[in-house]
């Protein structure tokens, strides 16, 4: 199975482990991910205003690159990129006026021919969790992992149809396939504070604290994420929350789901 692949800025630097494990597991599973040429930053956030279109150009160019490469699916890893690409693609497909405006600035017309998929979706739909379970060499038996979805994978409800917004299960099913135990806790979709950690740390820290407590109370030993910013927030505030809570057990490491997959496939 062949795909175009859009890494995004963070995957080449801070989240190198995410990219490395994604690419190595893809190879092991017989998936061909080809990085598209000359990609630029996707903009990190989908534009929420109606009076700017320049922020659509970068994702649309990447989608055009995918089409030019003869592929019909573009795979992303970073939840931020995924959110931007998926929503941009949907907007281009459904909003004729926006499509016309964007295409007026581009050399070629893009009509929404490419599908945007997250690597997690590739694993679920194209490989199959059942098939992954069969390929697992080292089952993660006994590992109690808290899937943390964050926001960007799932919301807004009407635009991202990866999974049920309130009670998603794709991470749980993935973890079960690896032999791990997915911990159930009610904060798995509550926002970690996102970019507030760049300017309002105390707010992000409090948001993380609630997630951390909920996961810990329900028996989690680590978090599993798909978003570099979620990982940063969950990790950065742990030490100070730890100091405040006087509970040394509270330390919960944060893994990208691909790291666990690589471990289970013994790569």
Least Å distance between CB 55 and other proteins? 8
From 31-39, 125-133, 174-182, 199-207, span contacting other proteins (CB under 8 A): 199-207
| Three-class secondary structure of residue 93 per DSSP | helix
Of the candidate residues 67, 190, 242, 245, the single one contacting other proteins (CB under 8 A): 190
Closer by beta carbon to other proteins, 50 or else 141: 50
C-alpha–C-alpha distance, residues 211 and 231, integer Å: 12
Answer positive or negative: Cα dihedral of 102, 104, 105, 110.
positive
Least Å distance between CB 235 and other proteins? 8
Long-range CB contacts for residues 46-55, cutoff 8 Å, separation at least 24 = 46/83, 46/84, 46/87, 46/88, 53/98, 53/101, 53/102, 53/105
From 31-39, 59-67, 196-204, 254-262, span contacting other proteins (CB under 8 A): 196-204
Q: Which residues contact 219 (CB under 8 A, 6 or more apart)?
A: 144, 183
Asked if 229 interacts with other proteins (CB under 8 A), we say yes
Asked if 164 interacts with other proteins (CB under 8 A), we say yes
Of the candidate residues 48, 97, 134, 248, the single one contacting other proteins (CB under 8 A): 48
Asked if 29 interacts with other proteins (CB under 8 A), we say no
Q: Strand locations in 174-221, DSSP E?
A: 181-182
Of the candidate residues 90, 176, 236, 251, the single one contacting other proteins (CB under 8 A): 236
C-alpha–C-alpha distance, residues 183 and 76, integer Å: 26
Residue 18 per-residue DSSP state: H
What is the contact surface with other proteins in residues (CB under 8 A)? 8-10, 13-15, 41, 43-45, 48-51, 78, 80, 151, 155-158, 164-167, 186-187, 189-191, 193-203, 206-207, 210, 214, 227-229, 231-232, 236
């Amino acid at each position: 199975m062949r795909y175009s692949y859009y890494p995004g800025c963070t995957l080449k630097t801070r989240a190198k482990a995410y990219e490395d494990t994604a690419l190595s597991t893809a190879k092991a599973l017989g998936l061909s991910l080809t990085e598209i040429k000359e990609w630029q930053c996707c903009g990190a956030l989908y534009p929420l205003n109606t009076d700017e279109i320049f922020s659509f150009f970068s994702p649309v160019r990447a989608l055009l690159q995918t089409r030019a490469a003869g592929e019909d699916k573009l795979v992303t890893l970073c939840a931020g990129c995924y959110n931007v690409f998926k929503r941009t693609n949907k907007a281009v497909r459904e909003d004729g006026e926006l499509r016309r405006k964007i295409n007026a600035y581009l050399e070629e017309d893009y009509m929404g021919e490419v599908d945007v998929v997250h690597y997690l979706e590739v694993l679920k739909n194209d490989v199959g969790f059942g098939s992954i379970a069969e390929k697992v060499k080292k089952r993660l038996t006994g590992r109690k992992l808290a899937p943390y979805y964050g926001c960007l994978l799932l919301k807004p409800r009407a635009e991202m149809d990866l999974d049920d917004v309130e009670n998603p299960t794709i991470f749980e099913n993935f973890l079960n396939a690896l032999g791990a135990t997915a911990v159930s806790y009610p904060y798995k979709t509550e926002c970690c504070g996102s970019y507030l950690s760049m300017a309002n740390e105390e707010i992000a820290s409090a948001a993380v604290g609630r997630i951390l407590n909920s996961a810990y109370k329900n028996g989690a030993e680590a978090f599993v994420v798909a978003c570099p910013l979620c990982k940063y927030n969950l990790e950065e505030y742990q030490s100070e929350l730890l100091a405040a809570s006087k509970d040394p057990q509270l330390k919960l490491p944060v893994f990208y789901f691909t790291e666990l997959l690589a471990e289970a496939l013994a790569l």
